[in-house]
Amino acid sequence: MVGSSHEALHRIFQKDPALLTRALQSVLHVPFPEPHEIAALNVDLTEIEPVERRVDTLLRAETDEGTYLLVVESQGKVDDRKRGSWPYYLSYLYEKYRCEPVLIVITQSSATARWASRPIRLGFPGWDSLTVRPLVLGPDNVPVITSERQAERDVPLAVLSAMTHGRGPQAPAILESLASALRTIDPDSAAVFVQFVDSCLADPQAKQMWRDLMTAIQYFWRHPLAEQVREEGREQGLEQGRAEAKAEMILHILEWRGIPVPDAVRDRVSACTELDQLEVWAQRAVHAKDAAELFAED
């Protein structure tokens, strides 16, 4: 059964097709020609016979060097059945469209990335009838974006970074920088990216931290994920609700990073109602080695 994380990992390229070619060029260092047009195609590869085969995302890229089909597969774990289905996809698509197909696999698992990157060779040793060499995007090559400025320069790539690296010690800084960058783009696109990241965060603490961060962004109060928080905010007042959400976020960041939070720190953060002050503490919480460092420069 296809999960929401699986869907988000490939649908981000439907939302921003140009991100895929940027990833090929800057992350995998593949000299893919710059497309001047990219269009989404039907992902259904089912033939007349009752055998259903479906790719995750299929894009057609028009470049000065020719037309390419970008076949994106979201892969959660090792699945040796792909040794048969991936060559089939590429052969079928070439026969149908007469365009060169390019297979890109995206995964959140380093082990799965290593498995997927191995060439698929069909034939006898020394003479391959068909060789498939997937291009793989995963935790080992997708950049870790923890800088707000870098996230603002390329928000879709920052989203991909959060989706790929949404666990581990760097997750708080990644999510914090992305949350700030989302304020710089249109709310509708930001809301879609919010869903993608939320779907891919398997770590419960990282997911809670992300939702805490999102409640502090004004546009997010229109988003379905914040419905409960929004209702509470209406009762208590938006300003108070945002301050409480920001305070909870700060404490969640510290706890998620394994930093003990004394009662005095918890009480001071929870009692604060100034959003500007809470924002300063939130930024310090991402890098602090001790809870008391939140107030070191106040």
Burial classification of residue 136, based on how many CB atoms lie within 10 Å of its CB (0-12 exposed, 13-18 middle, 19 or more buried): buried
On whether the CB atoms of residues 190 and 218 are closer than 8 A, the answer is no
Q: Which amino acid is at 64?
A: D
pLDDT above 60 (res 151): yes
Angle at 225 between CA 219 and CA 227, to 5 degrees: 80
Mean predicted confidence (pLDDT) in 123-140: 89
- Give residue 239's pLDDT: 65
User: pTM of this prediction?
Assistant: 0.67
Alpha helices in 143-262 (DSSP H): 148-153, 155-164, 171-182, 187-200, 204-215, 227-236, 238-256
Alpha-carbon gap, residue 19 to 9, rounded angstroms: 12
Query: What digits encode the pLDDT tens for the residues 7-39?
Result: 777 777 777 888 888 888 888 888 888 888 887
* b/e code 116-133 from CB counts within 10 Å (16+ = b): bbeebbeeeeeeeeeebe
* Rounded Cα distance, 40 and 44, in Å: 12
Provide mean pLDDT across the span 40-52: 59
Q: Over the Cα atoms of the chain, what is R_g?
A: 22
pLDDT in tens, 211-257: 888 876 544 444 555 555 445 445 555 667 677 878 887 887 887 77
Tokens of residue 87, six digits: 């060559």
Count of other CB atoms within 10 angstroms of residue 36: 9
pLDDT of residue 126: 79
Mean pLDDT in the chain? 82
Q: What is the mean pLDDT of residues 191-209?
A: 84
pLDDT at res. 149: 92
At residue 219, the pLDDT reads 45
Read off φ and ψ for residue 121, nearest 5 degrees: -115, 125
The answer on pLDDT for 52 being more than 60 is no
- Give the tens place of pLDDT for each residue, 287-296: 788 888 888 7
What local confidence, expressed as pLDDT, does residue 238 receive?
60
Largest CA distance in the chain: 72
Residue 73 bridge partners (DSSP): 105
Average pLDDT over residues 59-74: 91
pLDDT for the residue numbered 93: 92
Segment holding 96, helix H or strand E: helix 82-97
Q: How far is CA 139 from the centre of its chain?
A: 11
